[in-house]
Every structure is written in structure tokens, then in C-alpha cells.
Amino acid sequence: MRQLNLGLWIVLIISFSFGLFAQKIPKFGKVSKETLAMTELAADPEADAVYMFDVGDLSLRETSGGFHVEVYRHVRIKVLTEEGKEYADVSIPFWHEDKIRDFKAHTILPNGKKVKLKKKSIFEERVKNLRFKKFTFPGVEVGSVIEYKYKLESEYIHELEPWYFQNPAYTLVSRYSVTVLPHFSYNAFFLNEEEQEPVKEDIMDVYTKKRLTKFIWTLTDLPPIRTEPYMRSLNDYRAALHFQIEKYRHIVFIKDWPSLVKEIRETYDDFLGKDKSLQAVIDTELNDSMKTDDKIRALYEYVRDNVETTNQSGIYIKSKAKDVLKEKKGTAAQKNLLLVNLLEMAGFNANPVLISSRNNGRMIQRHARLNQFNRMLAYVKSGMKTYMLDTRQENCPFKMLPVDDIVENGLVVNRGEGGFVKIPIPRQVNMAFCETKATLDDEGNLSAELLIRYDDYRAMYVRNKIESDGDKAFVTELLKDRYETAELDTFTIDGLDDVNGSVTFNINYDVEGFAQVVGDMIYLSSPAINQLNENPFKREKRYYPVEYNYAIASTDNVSLKLPEGYHVNELPQAINARVKLQKLTFQNAWEDGGDTINIKRQVMIRKQMYTPREYSTLRTFYDQIVKADQGQIVLSSAAPTAGE
């Protein structure tokens, strides 16, 4: 469902220029001397490349076979540095039923020579319902211009694709135009934008011989938007224009939430129903002496553990609850609706809830669109308590949601008008507790025994990772991430099968050349397993929030036995850093125990989101951790001098 009521438009114009709009976009292959000579961008001196323009032109067409959409796209990029050559690798996504025609691409060298992209260098890949046209521009060098254009044809007239104005590099001009046929009415709305009327242009349609109106939006001087560490979904922050169909002739499409809830609930009710096999589950799993929590938990765990998940996403249902139960397998949506069915039969107030998962982008409440949802959960109300449940992952404990479900809100699909509910924020500490007993020899080699315990969401992550990669691969990767030369000796795991508890490892390993030996001195840093080698936040500024999946904490207790005959010459300075408002804590303490060094280290990040205004504080916090973790321990075998 899309909208284009060509009257009221909401647009965030970062820089709107009628002068630039009046200027025509150059024809394909026609590049000015100024563009070829360009060596840097004044607005972004560190830019590796710049989108000179990114232009899209959508038209709704009618042929003897019916209606279809045509989108012409033309992109031109200037490569400014060696790093900018990465833009020569292009991947164009499109739905598997759509067609791309009239494709052209070439490289224009700084001297003006053109190098065409050959057809044999173009490849297609398919991932589920998406296809990707992939290619690499030939002969690209610093100063080159790369350019491509194509026409996309689609039958999806009800689902016009959004236009994203921002790109991974700075964009000078991004322009989008829409021309629709009479009798169609859409609404359009913008995300991350301010209100602005489109420019209108009367045109004569060559196909219908009718006078139509083209609506045009131009945004200029757009800052880049790239995937950065701890960023949820890129599309949550890109300036974008979305569409929703409102009506065609006298057919009015859904345009409010109660209507949408009513329609989708009717399809779900076809799936629900009382059945002997469902009642048998209730009779087996529940009894009158059980408390409410225990009853809901029993039914949740029954569906989670006894029905195989065949698909992790989706909101549509194809099989009835009794059939899913009989076959012992179903999609995530089918499993969760089965749970709703069982809970209803057991006397609970249970309903489906639709969400847009973290990687799918935030739900937009101001427009009733079903296609923005990609997952269904089960929602239960009992007295003052509410429960949000998702049975799709076997490693997910009761009252916890899989990480990708941790979003702001969801749409309740009940038998009334529906409504929005908040998804509970995880309250768990999610600790990684580590205890290391290590011995250093006089050649700088380290032998260590590590006990590491993962709690809550971190335990869930470990179970999922081991399920996909294996336990030895997990332990090996854990050590390699910390030490380049680590060699695994032995390990054991406890608690792996108890999804409600912690996962604990006992690991024995060796690290050759861990410390540097120079004469009678040895230099090394802390052997704490959670030591941070670099700050994940490289850029000085960030325009978008830092978003953690959940609060995180780690504790390291280290006992390091020194080589015989050595003593501590120097220890790093202890640190106790707290940023109360931002809920950040870092502590690092050192103790000289004669023949041992005792180290206590703790990091806590208890907020899920840090705004761009808080980014500098968070970045500085990580700088402190890195600096402390790289602090040098100095040992000496020489006799201590007076005062040491």
C-alpha cells in the first residue's frame, strides 16, 4: 500500500535550489571539463567520491496487458581518491518479477576517454525474492567519472518503491519525479524530511496523448549516509520519499489502522479455532495448581521446543493451527499464531502483534501500511501483566525476545480496532564474567586458564553462534580476536542446553611471544580477555544515533604469575571513569602482589541508544578504555634500587 495524493506532501529539504532544478541534468556521457578536472569537494574535503547527481523518473503506464510502472534512473559519480574506487563496484537490487532494460554503463577517464562496460562483465544474483544486477566499472582511476542508467519495469502498481535521496557518498543533486495516470490517487510522505511542495510540470504523454502533470522533488547538497558501528538500519535515517495507493477509480484502498486491523484479523481468524489436538496440548501441559506465569510459560516452551521453525520472518498464514501442530513445523508467524490459539483456548486474552524488526527499519505509525511489517509476535494480557512472546528461536528464554525483535512498538491485531503497544526494553545486565589465571615465563610466553560466563542475551548469542559454527570454532575465534598467536589447548562448556541459564567455558590456552623481553626487562599489557585494541568509533562526528541491541557489561579478574626472579617495575595508572547521565562505567585497577599481579577491569554500558549529541562523550569513553587497556606493565629481573 502506497500513497500519492498529489496535493499534500511532506519533504525534508536539506537544501532546495530552484536554480539547480532549472539546470538540466547532462545527457548520458556528456561530462563538462570542470567535472573532469575536479579533485576535491569543498563541502566535504575528506570525500573519497561524490555523486554528481542521482536522478529517478517514475511513470505509471497503461498497455493492452494492463498497468505497469516504469522507472528511469541515471547516476553519475566522480572518483576523488584511491579509496573512492570502491564505488566502481555496483549492485542494483530489484524484485525478482521486475525487469531491467536499456542498461548502459561506462567509465570516463580524466582525459575524457570513455571505457564501456561489456555485457559479459554484468552478473545477476538472486536471494529469495530479490535479484541483484552486479558489475564493476572498467579502468577506473582517481579522477574518473563512472556513470550508469537503466529502465526498471514493474507490475507492482500498488507498491511503488521508495526513493532514497541520500547515498554513501556526498550527493550534489538527487531528483525524483512522478507522473501518474488519471483515476489513480496516491499519497506520498517523506521520512527524515521537512514539508515542501513539489515543482509541477505539464507534459504531453506520448503513450496516451493526454496532458499529464509531473511532480518533481530536488534535494541538493546531501551529506553521506553510511553503515557505521552500532547502527540499526540505514534506511531509518535516509531522506526518503514513500508512496501509498489511496484509490483507483471508485475502489478505495485501506487508509486507516482500524480498517487494516479488521482485514488482517479476518485472515488470522481463519487460522484459529478450537480443536481436539490443541485441547490435548492444554490438558497435558497445564493444571489448575499452576500460576499464571507458569501456564503461559508452559505453552510458550511447548510451541518453541516442539514445532520446527521453517522461516524466521513473515506475517502471512497458509496453514491452520491444527495442521502446524500435526506436522510439527511451521513459519515463525504460524508458530506464534498457534501459541495465540492455545492461550485463547486456555482462557487468556491473547492476540497477534505485528512489528518491523530492527534490520527492517522502524515502523511508521502515521500511515496505515501493512507491507512495513515483517514479523508477528504473540501478545498476552493477564491482569496488570503483559507478555510479548516469540517462539521462533529455540535458544530464546521465556520473557525474552530474539534480539531482532527489540524495537519500539508493535500493532495489536485484535477483534476490535487494534492499537499500538510498546515492546518491552530488556532489563537484563547481559554480563560476560571472566576470570583468568595466567603464568608468564622469562621468554615472554603466556599460559592461561580462563573461566568465562555469559549471562542473558550474551548467553543467547553464544548458543546461537555455537549452533551455527560449532563450539571449537567459537572458542578459537574468541582467542584469536584477543591474541594473534593464541593456541587452544583444552576447553569444556557447561549450561549450553539450559536456555534459561548462563553458559560457562573453562579454556586452557597458550600465547607464544605475548610479552616483549629486552635484556633484564619484560614489557607487556594486561592479558584480560576483554581488552579493547581499538575504538570502534573512528569518525569525529556522527549524524545518527549509536544503538546497542541491549545493555552490556563485562568483568575481568586476572591473576598473572610473574617469571621467577622478576618483580614489578611499573604498573599502569588505575582508572575509575563514570559518566552518570550516559550510564557509562569503566574501572581498571592494578595490584602488585609480589610474585603476581592482580587486575580488576569492568565496563558497563547501560543505555541502548546514544544521540549524536552524546556521541563525543561515548567516543571519548572508548578512547579511555583503549588507552587503559594498552597501558604497559614493566617487569625487571634486576635487583630493586632503594625506594622501589
pLDDT tens track for 392-445: 999 999 999 999 999 999 999 999 999 999 999 999 999 999 999 999 999 999
Do 518 and 378 have their domain in common?
no
SS3 label, residue 285 = helix
Decide: residue 251, CB within 10 A, 0-12 exposed, 13-18 middle, 19+ buried: exposed
Asked if the model's pLDDT at residue 8 lies above 90, the reply is no
State which H helix or E strand residue 564 sits in. none
Do 133 and 263 have their domain in common?
no
Do 379 and 327 have their domain in common?
yes
Residue in the structure block whose three cell numbers are 578459537? 476
Residue 2 domain flag: no
Residue 567 domain flag: yes
pLDDT at 15: 33
Beta bridge partners of 108: 114, 145
The domain spanning residue 128 has which CATH number? 2.60.40.3140
Q: Please choose, from the candidates 222, 335, 322, the residue with its C-alpha nearest in 3D space to the C-alpha of residue 278.
A: 322
Q: What are phi and psi of 502, to 5 degrees?
A: -85, 165
What is the distance between the alpha carbons of residues 215 and 54, in angstroms, rounded to a whole number?
A: 17
Beta bridge partners of 552: 605
pLDDT at 3: 34
What is the distance between the alpha carbons of residues 435 and 518, in angstroms, rounded to a whole number?
A: 29
What is the distance between the alpha carbons of residues 169 and 84, in angstroms, rounded to a whole number?
A: 9
pLDDT at 641: 63
pLDDT band at residue 249 using 50, 70 and 90 as cut-offs: low
Domain boundary among 422, 447, 473: 422
The domain spanning residue 598 has which CATH number? 2.60.120.1130
- The rounded Cα 449 to chain-centroid distance in angstroms is 35
Domain boundary among 198, 226, 252: 252
Q: How far apart are the two ends of the chain, measured CA to CA in Å? A: 76
- The number of residues in the chain equals 644
Residue 435 domain flag: yes
Cell, residue 198:
513539489
Do 132 and 275 have their domain in common?
no
pLDDT at 595: 95
Do 385 and 280 have their domain in common?
yes
Do 456 and 415 have their domain in common?
no
- Host domain of residue 623: 431-636
What is the distance between the alpha carbons of residues 342 and 317, in angstroms, rounded to a whole number?
A: 16
pLDDT at 644: 55
Do 178 and 200 have their domain in common?
yes
Domain count, the chain: 3
Asked if the model's pLDDT at residue 569 lies above 60, the reply is yes
CB 472 within 8 A of CB 447: no
Mean pLDDT of all residues belonging to the chain:
90
What is the distance between the alpha carbons of residues 100 and 465, in angstroms, rounded to a whole number?
A: 38
What is the distance between the alpha carbons of residues 540 and 155, in angstroms, rounded to a whole number?
A: 45
What is the distance between the alpha carbons of residues 102 and 160, in angstroms, rounded to a whole number?
A: 20
Q: What is the pTM of this model?
A: 0.84
pLDDT at 254: 63
Domain boundary among 422, 447, 471: 422
Q: Please choose, from the candidates 557, 631, 568, 632, the residue with its C-alpha nearest in 3D space to the C-alpha of residue 595.
A: 568
pLDDT at 62: 80
Query: In sequence order, what are the residues at sequence separation of 6 or more whose Cβ sits closer than 8 angstroms to the Cβ of residue 209?
Result: none
Do 335 and 403 have their domain in common?
yes
Do 402 and 477 have their domain in common?
no
Asked if the model's pLDDT at residue 171 lies above 80, the reply is yes
In SS3 terms, 167-181 reads as CCCEEEEEEEEEECC
Asked if the model's pLDDT at residue 22 lies above 60, the reply is no
Do 459 and 590 have their domain in common?
yes
What is the distance between the alpha carbons of residues 104 and 3, in angstroms, rounded to a whole number?
A: 31
Beta bridge partners of 3: 244
